[in-house]
Amino acid sequence: MQKSCLVIGGSGFLGGHLVRKLLSINCRVTSTYNSRPIKEGNPDPNLSLSKADICKRDEIESLFPDLDYVFMCANVSPFNLSKEEYKRRVTQINTEGINNVAQCMIKYKTKFLVFLSSVAAMGANSDTECYDESISFEPEETYGKSKLLAEKTLQNYFKKGLIDGAILRPSGIYGPGGFGPLEKIVSFLNKGFVPIIGNGENLQSVVYVGNVVNAAITVAETNSSPGAVYLISDNRPYSVNEMISTTARIMGKKYRTIHFPVSVFRFIGWVLDWVSVITGKQMPVSLSSIDAITAGRIFKVDKIKNALGFEFEFELEDGLRQTLA
């Protein structure tokens, strides 16, 4: 039987990839968008487009009858927004918006929700290198705080048995249409030199968008335990040096590396944090983001593999070849 899916935020990077995958396996898909423009033309008869703001229940309620799965991918870009405006919008989506989605699911008895959260909801600790689903610190960044708020709201619905669903926490996502955590590497390779903080042997978890999409569909189709939380990254972490060398080889770029002491960049991050406080504007980097880059930060994916039998289709080289094609 053909499955009926709602992708909230389907015009975004992750949502767009999810929509295309669902259509490729013959699902009927409704994809929402809000302020972001969407391309005109709809050649696939299984795809419906709907302009809807999840913070306004009357705009989304009509999309819920007869649904099998809801995939929540909505997000807010911080670019060109003040720090306060970004905080207001992203918090609203992950509180009011989440409640509206849950209430509509209750009313129309929707089968299953997959909430695309983030490892940012777990916070970070400079003394912790390896994370699994049981580890949690208080997030410091607005984005992580808002995702954690959404998770707590949903867990309340799950525990009461009001809706069924699970939470997926991707690490930094890269893929066609978005370099994500590899963006700076690509940018510097195009200039012929790459600054490296420390020795570059610290391990990082990143994830190709195809692995995230496959994981989201697997979680929905297996009707995972209500409220289950799964980390999703590529099957193994990569050193910064490996990410640079693999990207350079696929791009056909020669480059020089320049190594900087960690302390220099931590000072820069500290200064930019104060600039952000004084000006109220989002800075491109912060002290916490510098710490995340320079420390080893590995997200274990044993749970999704063991509990759901999930298999990874893409590794770094596979994903980069498609991203850079």
The answer to whether residue 271 is domain-embedded is no
β-bridge partners, 207: 173
DSSP code, position 225: P
pLDDT, residue 36, reads: 61
Instruction: Look at residues 96, 70, 234 and name the one whose alpha carbon lies nearest to residue 167.
Output: 70
Instruction: Please give the structure tokens belonging to residue 119.
Output: 């490892």
Instruction: Average the pLDDT over 73-84 and give the result.
Output: 86
Indicate the pLDDT class of residue 2, thresholds 50, 70 and 90. Answer: very high
pLDDT tens digit sequence for 219-273? 999 977 889 999 999 999 999 999 999 999 999 999 999 888 888 878 888 888 8
pLDDT, residue 288, reads: 72
> How many Cβ atoms from other residues are within 10 Å of residue 31's Cβ?
29
Strand runs labelled E in 76-124: 112-116
The answer to whether residue 42 is domain-embedded is yes
- Residues 235 and 98: their CA atoms lie apart, in Å, by 30
The answer to whether residue 74 is domain-embedded is yes
- Residues 23 and 29: their CA atoms lie apart, in Å, by 7
The answer to whether residue 194 is domain-embedded is no
CB 177 within 8 A of CB 13: yes
The answer to whether residue 243 is domain-embedded is no
The answer to whether residue 191 is domain-embedded is no
pLDDT tens digit sequence for 196-207? 988 999 999 999
The answer to whether residue 253 is domain-embedded is no
The answer to whether residue 262 is domain-embedded is no
- Any idea what the CATH number is for the domain that residue 44 is in? 3.40.50.720
Write down the pTM of the prediction: 0.91
Instruction: Please give the structure tokens belonging to residue 40.
Output: 């005109």
- Residues 301 and 232: their CA atoms lie apart, in Å, by 6
Q: How many domains does the chain have?
A: 1
Domain coverage including residue 79? 4-175+206-235+298-316
pLDDT, residue 79, reads: 80
Residue 214 has pLDDT above 60, yes or no: yes
Mean of all residue pLDDT scores within the chain: 92
pLDDT tens digit sequence for 6-52? 999 999 999 999 999 999 999 999 999 876 655 555 678 999 999 99
Instruction: Look at residues 299, 290, 138 and name the one whose alpha carbon lies nearest to residue 212.
Output: 299
pLDDT tens digit sequence for 285-315? 777 767 766 767 899 999 999 999 999 999 9
Among 124-133, 151-160, 219-228, the range with the most confident prediction by mean pLDDT is: 151-160
